[in-house]
């Protein structure tokens, strides 16, 4: 995905019009008032955030709930949705933290986190991993000093390469959602849907064979790094395939597999060609299918003055059977 940050590269495409939903000011005000009330309740009673988020479902705009349900059942042209105007721009937003694990957050940030959890619930059950951001259910995605060149959400001056969330495990999320508290001009969140891959059939056949290993990325602290099992990159029906890929996290099961390496190079180029980009702005919520798209981010220069890009992220398990099989845990591992 590095080429997308280059000055001579053509700009990525946009989401389909049907994938962009807008809410009215009155709908936003109603939803935000309920979210602020829930955030106050959480501070008073230390309530379960998912239970509080469930109480916000009736406050969400009906067209948004319907769209999320349809997205879960049928997908969308690019297997992503952009919700605009669902969250207002808080005038009293505090400074962007300098860490992805801040010790405390303001009520407006807690309200935004509960709203994001509420938007995740029509898609399934929110969860995370104990090895990721201290097992926090809602994670902070922001630039961190000293982490600029890493392949994590804390990076900035390095492009975040194509990847799925937690491709090293089949327990990875089915969907993830990003809520923008603060944006950065020109910093694009980029997606590439597997259903639009322009690949030679011979490369597809190679990518559908279990010739690859995926390992945890640097964001995981203490994750199991024992010998992974070889897996395919592409699975599922040809018309709507699933993809499990990370440019920095995938390795050849056989280091001498030149054909497998060539197919990976062809895949990266095809993902670049199919890129869809969006500059997240305050109040935007981007929802993506983690099984059918890969994503990344272009570069930006952090200021570290409290006004930097700041997103919240949730991950969702769409299968209630899988969620129960895991013990209905909110943090796996």
pLDDT tier for residue 167 given thresholds of 50, 70 and 90: very high
Give the residue ranges of DSSP H helices in the chain: 25-45, 49-54, 62-74, 107-120, 201-207, 258-273, 320-325
Position 247 pLDDT exceeds 70: yes
Q: Is the pLDDT of residue 7 over 50?
A: no
Q: Tell me the pLDDT tens digit for each residue of 74-88.
A: 999 999 999 998 999
- Residue pair 39/107 in contact (Cβ under 8 Å)? The answer is yes
Average pLDDT over residues 104-130: 96
For residues 40-65, average pLDDT: 90
Rounded (5°) CA angle 126-193-311: 45
Sign of CA dihedral 180, 186, 189, 194: positive
For residue 198, pLDDT over 90 is answered with: yes
pLDDT, residue 9, reads: 56
pLDDT of amino acid 6: 41
- Residue 154 is encoded by which pair of tokens? 């804390």
Lowest mean per-residue pLDDT among 32-36, 93-97, 223-227, 249-253 = 223-227
Nearest to 307 by CA among 92, 37, 97: 97
CB contact burial 71-92 (16+ within 10 A = b; e otherwise): bbeebbebbbbbbebbbbebee
Phi/psi for 324 (5° steps) reads: -70, -35
pTM: 0.95
pLDDT tier, 104 (very low <50, low <70, confident <90, very high otherwise): confident
DSSP characters over 109-171 = HHHHHHHHHHHHGGG-EEEEETTBGGG-SSEEE---TT-TTSSSTT--SS-EEEE-TTTTSTT
Of the listed ranges 37-51, 61-75, 87-101, 206-220, the one predicted with least confidence: 37-51
pLDDT tens string 121-165: 999 999 999 999 999 999 999 999 999 999 999 999 999 999 999
User: What is the Cβ-side half-sphere exposure of residue 86, based on CA atoms within 13 angstroms?
Assistant: 33
Confidence bin at 218 (pLDDT 50/70/90)? confident
Rounded distance between C-alpha atoms, residue 98 and residue 194, angstroms: 34
Question: Per-residue confidence at 319, pLDDT binned at 50, 70, 90?
Answer: very high
What share of residues in the chain are helix, strand, coil (percent, to 5)?
A: 30, 20, 50
What pLDDT, on the 0 to 100 scale, is given for residue 5?
Answer: 41
Please determine, for residue 8, whether its predicted confidence score (pLDDT) is greater than 50: no
Maximum Cα interatomic distance, the chain, rounded to a whole number of Å: 60
Beta-strand runs (E) in 209-309: 212-214, 234-235, 242-243, 250-252, 276-278, 285-289, 293-297
Task: Give the residue among 129, 116, 112, 110 at the shortest CA–CA distance from 170.
Answer: 129
pLDDT at 34 over 90: yes
Residue 248 pLDDT > 50: yes
């Amino acid at each position: 995905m590095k080429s997308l940050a280059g000055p001579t590269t053509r700009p990525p495409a946009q989401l389909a019009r049907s994938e962009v939903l807008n809410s009215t000011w009155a709908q936003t005000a109603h939803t935000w008032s309920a979210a602020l009330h829930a955030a106050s309740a959480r501070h008073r009673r230390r309530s379960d955030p998912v239970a509080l988020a469930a109480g916000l479902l009736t406050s969400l705009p009906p067209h948004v709930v319907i769209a999320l349900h349809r997205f879960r059942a049928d997908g969308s042209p690019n297997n992503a949705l952009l919700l605009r105007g669902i969250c207002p721009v808080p005038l009293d937003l505090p400074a962007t933290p300098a860490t992805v694990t801040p010790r405390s957050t303001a009520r407006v940030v807690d309200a935004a986190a509960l709203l994001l959890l509420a938007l995740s619930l029509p898609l399934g059950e929110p969860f995370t991993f104990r090895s990721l951001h201290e097992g926090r259910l809602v994670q902070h995605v922001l630039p961190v000093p000293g982490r600029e060149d890493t392949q994590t959400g804390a990076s900035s001056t390095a492009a975040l390469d194509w990847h799925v969330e937690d491709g090293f495990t089949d327990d990875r999320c089915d969907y993830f959602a990003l809520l923008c508290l603060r944006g950065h001009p020109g910093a694009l969140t980029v997606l590439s849907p597997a259903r639009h891959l322009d690949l030679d059939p011979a490369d597809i056949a190679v990518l559908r064979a279990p010739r690859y290993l995926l390992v945890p990325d640097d964001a995981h602290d203490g994750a199991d790094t024992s010998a992974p099992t070889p897996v395919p990159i592409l699975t599922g029906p040809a018309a709507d395939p699933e993809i499990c890929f990370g440019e920095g996290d995938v390795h050849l099961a056989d280091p001498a597999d030149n054909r497998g390496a060539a197919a990976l190079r062809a895949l990266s180029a095809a993902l670049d060609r199919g890129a869809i980009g969006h500059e997240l702005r305050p109040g935007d919520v981007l929802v993506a299918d983690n099984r059918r798209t890969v994503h990344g981010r272009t570069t930006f220069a952090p200021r570290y003055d409290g006004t930097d890009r700041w997103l919240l992220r949730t991950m969702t398990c769409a299968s209630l059977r899988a969620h129960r099989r895991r013990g209905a845990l909110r943090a796996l591992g």
